[in-house]
Amino acid sequence: MDDSMLVTVIGAITGLMTAIVTSFIIPIVQKRLEKVEERRSVHEKYAQPLAADAVNLLWRLNEILFKGRAQYLREDAPLTPFNVYKRISTCYRIAVILGWVRAIEQEQSYLFYGEEKSQTDLRRAVADLESALADSPHVEVHVLRRLAGLWDVALPDDGDEVDRIAACANAEMQHVLADNRLARCHDLLDLNAPRQMEAVHRVAAAITAAMSRPPVEEAVLTATGAEALSHIAVRQAWIYRDWQQAIGALMIRPVEGAARRFDVLDYGTFEALVTGGAGIEKIWLDRLEAALSGIDAVQPDPADFRISQLRAVTRATAALVCAIERLDLERRIIEADACVLARKLLAEIPARGEG
């Protein structure tokens, strides 16, 4: 092949390679880079405000559970401006997380629906947070086991069967509350002695009937009535999933001409709703406040399961912060000290069923 032919062939090959790179490879690379930037943009659109408010909640929960600074939640806390602010702002910090979760779900943001491991971790953390606020079967089982031990009733080894028996006991408890026009198990302590013993008898009968066992002996129930009632009259305040959605919907407002379709209520608006609101909005906020009002984190009441609930919420919030930290973002949106705190709390608070 002479030199002129070689030059022609090289030129043709070079032109072909240039065309391939220009027409195919560069557009593919550009498209991938655009997708990376688009994903980061979508992440940051909601990840930044969600992270900021999750960190705020985490600091407050750490203050309540581990710093001994939660006197403002106690029933006997004086209604000073400081105490009132701290109680309302604690409710706000939970409500605003529910608001961001609702906004992300409404917009169907890629932040929750992507397939990266960090997004899977994020979805799991949100699910754990919703569960910590809403689920009570573990409390039902705890009460059942305490009563079974008190009355020497052998429970089955099958966990599902234990759950079923606990559900039967709780179903009867709902009838007891309705018959006495009470809203909460803890209100049983306000009944007179005969009514309290009637409640103990009915719960005992529901448990043994669910197990097809003979009833607990009357003498045993009489001797253990007061202790049994202390196990039954637990204090809890669950924010069920539908309630969480309602609170979340209350917390968001649509916005026009912005990167996000939704924003959350500012603290001032929230405080005005708490202190002067009415109607359905006040109902949802009262239910949220009931989850916190009257908690004594320094000398906790053994029958107050809201402490356990707050610990589960704290662990889920810490997991949420860690999951956001691991997202593929262009810039760091969580301060290092908050990340340290989140990892510390994840290590210190066992998952439910592990401790």
pTM score of the predicted model = 0.80
Among 97, 73, 68, CA closest to 87:
73
What is the tens place of the pLDDT at every residue in 161-212? 999 999 999 999 999 999 999 988 989 999 999 999 999 999 999 999 999 9
Residue 33 has pLDDT above 50, yes or no: no
The confidence band for 5, taking pLDDT boundaries of 50, 70 and 90, is low
Number of neighbours of residue 113 by Cβ within 10 angstroms: 11
The confidence band for 36, taking pLDDT boundaries of 50, 70 and 90, is very low
Q: Supply the mean pLDDT for the chain.
A: 86
- Which two tokens mark 125? 């953390």
**With pLDDT > 70 as the criterion, what percentage of the chain qualifies?**
83
Query: How large is the average pLDDT for residues 66-76?
Result: 92
Q: How far is CA 345 from CA 12, 66, 166, 350, in A?
A: 64, 10, 31, 9
**With pLDDT > 90 as the criterion, what percentage of the chain qualifies?**
57
Contact 185, 270 (CB under 8 A): no
Measure the CA–CA gap between 162 and 156, rounded to whole angstroms: 7
Residue 29 has pLDDT above 80, yes or no: no
